[in-house]
Amino acid sequence: MELDNRNVQLLQMISSSVQITSKELMEKHGLTRNQLDYSIKKINDFLKDNNYEPMIRSRKGYFVVDAKVVDDFSGVSNSESRLKATKSSFLDEEYRLLVILLLIFSSDYLSLYHFSDTLEVSKNTIVSDIKKLKEYLDKYLITIEYSRKKGYYFKGNEETIRGVILSITDKVMESIYNTVIFHKYLQISEQEIEEKRKLIRMIEAELQVHYTDNRIQTAPYFLILLTKRIQNGHLLDQAFGTMAKEVMDTKEYAAIVKVLAGRYELPKSYSEHLYLCLFILSLKITDLSNTFSLNTDALRSHISSFIELLEKNIVIQLSDKAQLIENLALHLAPAYYRIKYGLTSEYAITDFVKNQLDPLFFMVKSSIAPLEDFFEERIPSDEIYLITMFVGAYMQKEKPINESKTTVNAVVVCPNGIISSKLLENTLDNWFPMIHFIPAFSIREFYEQEQLLDVQLVFSTTPLTTELPVIVVGNDLSAMNKNLIVNEVIQLIYKIDSYKLQPDHTLAIVKKYIELPPEIEERIRKELLISYNSIFQIQDQEVLNNEVKLHLCDVITPESIILLKGEEDWNSVLQKTTQNLIERDIVEPRYLTSLQEQFPTVKPNILLGNTIVIPHTIPENGTKRLGMCFAKIDQGFASGTERFYYVVAISAVDKKQHIQPMMELLKIASDETMLQKLAAAISKEEILAIISAVKK
């Protein structure tokens, strides 16, 4: 990657004067804290791509820069610097492409000349950009066309086009260029924004709801772009059919129409004003107390059924289920309108996040039927990923609150809604056992409650104006940012500059005098890290990350398979499978007693795919380590009116390590072909081959 002119100057300035502070850089270049953070991220991406150590900041705002970076990049006008600025516009290519999309969305005529002149790049660059955009839009079945009469324009489903634009608007709002893009390139005035924001506030008051902070910020921009698109004649060809009556009969619809009509903001087209109302209804909210004709009690009931099925499938008991149900209801109430009426999700979930979530996502998707029954629609994958993220936040290792060891109280402030808040709060809660976190706040809630809060520390995804110490954590909790956050926390709580005590810093000193083989260096780093974390009570657990990448074939091995050929009953199978776990020192003998007390018969909550019985209990009942025992019963055994042929006794030690194996076991239980192969298997080797085949 390359750096734009601004970031070239920043890197050269920091490299030339390592004592320069964040505040000085912001003042010199007219940057906000978010803009500087974004630039530092871009610079660090550039450094890592070119095999340099990234920069980090101390609590006082100074930058800690590797000597090689100083040698190669210092000097604002150093002719020997390896750093060369790009000659393109100050906009990164990524955001230049987004501007092109938004211009096409909102303008009535655009030519190559318009793009080239507006963005200050060559026509060849614009041609190349549009080619890239066409490839990006392919997955949405949207194309960019050109004619002399129309200029550049979109061709595709209008509702899909608007969904893409909503996602792009969100993305632009997160960038350092948001003001420039909307005001300079799209000619949107601050007065227009304020008028739309006032409209949103009036709807809030009429409905007696609170929208999340980021929706209040982003929705006005999308509403202005939407108005321009309608004025340019791009109208929906969807009438929503008979489903529209359900919305039109609600008090929310009537309230929104009242506000829109009172301000002359109601589109003339029936489909357009219904779309606008649905968009507003789908905005994320912060409470359910005074909103929605939607039957929220029925929604909670279906959520409860979903959680019960999920717990069965992943062999865990989720903590604080009442709060989980309430928070999921809070998220799913506005999502109902997106799902029910096919509105494109407003969320963009990265491939990296999806890869991290995959095993849990599969289990959530396999348990989603109760929610789909409520919506009477298939739930899109991106919505299921959001639900997965939310469930994952409740699967964190629980940290018992020990007031005698709690050093400070803290609060998380996050404008992005309940899912982001909960994930961030749980991540930080796990990192810092010495901190007691009170429930998270939105920005508005924080300012309203600030004087009443008994906290000594605030973690926020955005800068705040407050007398309390604020650590701005952003939405990126990568390893690099974790080090920065940990250092700031340690300095605030223990009054120590911990950077010089960190393992990498210590290792750098040692390596000046001793050459270390890579494997020895890694072992020393791990031991130093353990010691460092122990001294400052820092945990090292990542959100939703299955730390030990075990597969089912790693847990079910030849010694954990038993073949039962004679007459059996449920109790004898339960004894034999659990005894296998006892003999392999996976569980204590009392584990069997707990299972016998809990499951005198085969109950629905230990049935996987209605074919495989999975007896298990909580770790406190005698679990020593993760393990399974797979039993195939040739003649089967009866329980009630059913007959079963497979039992997998399970010992789970936490809420994460066994998720991948359970996902693979559920795949077997749900696959008729694999079950037929299992029925035909007569040896341990054949069973192991089937189990290994399901591994990704």
Of 600 and 484, more confident: 600
Q: Where are the alpha helices (DSSP H) in 561-612?
A: 570-583, 590-598
Q: How far apart are CA 173 and CA 182, in angstroms?
A: 9
User: What is the sign, positive or negative, of the torsion defined by CA atoms of 552, 553, 555, 559?
Assistant: positive
Nearest to 631 by CA among 644, 617, 621: 644
Opening angle at CA 420, ends 470 and 324, nearest 5: 120
- Does 636 score more than 80 pLDDT? yes
Task: Tell me the percentage of the chain whose pLDDT exceeds 70.
Answer: 82
In this prediction, residue 355 carries a pLDDT of: 59
Ranking 40-44, 486-490, 668-672 by mean pLDDT, the lowest is 486-490
Of residues 82 and 386, more confidence is placed in 386
Q: Can you give the pLDDT at residue 582? A: 94
Task: Write the pLDDT tens digit of every residue in 2-29.
Answer: 676 677 778 877 876 656 777 777 777 7
For residue 433, name the pLDDT band (cuts at 50, 70, 90).
confident
pLDDT at residue 252 in the model: 78
What is the reported pLDDT for 8? 77
Residue 314: its pLDDT value, please?
82
Q: Which of 44-48, 193-197, 352-356, 692-696 has the lowest mean pLDDT?
A: 352-356
Phi-psi region of 221 (alpha: psi -120 to 50; beta: other; left: phi over 0): alpha
**Quick one: average pLDDT of 435-442?**
86
Instruction: Give the CATH fold of the 8-73 domain.
Output: Arc Repressor Mutant, subunit A (1.10.10)
Interior CA angle at 672 toward 691 and 385, to 5°? 75
CA distance 489 to 477: 14
Tokens of 19: 């004592």
Same fold, 408-536 and 552-693: no
- Considering only the C-alpha atoms of the chain, give the largest distance between any 2 of them, rounded to a whole number of Å: 87
**Mean pLDDT computed over 276-303:** 77
What confidence category does residue 80 fall into, taking pLDDT thresholds of 50, 70 and 90? very low
Who's near 405: CB < 8 A, 6+ residues apart? 433, 434, 537
Domain ranges of the chain: 8-73, 93-235, 296-393, 408-536, 552-693
Average pLDDT, the chain: 80
Alpha helices in 74-157 (DSSP H): 93-106, 112-119, 123-137
Is the domain defined by 408-536 classed in CATH 3.30.230?
no
pTM of the model: 0.60
For residue 398, the SS3 value is coil
Q: Is the pLDDT of residue 207 over 70?
A: yes
Whether 116 has a pLDDT exceeding 90, the answer reads no
Question: What would the pLDDT profile of 357-385 be if each residue is shown by its tens digit?
Answer: 677 888 888 899 999 999 888 888 878 88
What is 552-693's CATH superfamily?
Mannitol-specific EII; Chain A (3.40.930.10)
pLDDT at 569: 92
Residue with structure tokens 């100057």?
9
Using CA atoms, how far residue 91 sits from 144, 213, 524, in Å, is 22, 26, 43
Residue 634: in which H helix or E strand, if any? strand 627-639
Angle at 499 between CA 494 and CA 502, to 5 degrees: 100
Q: Is the pLDDT of residue 235 over 90?
A: no
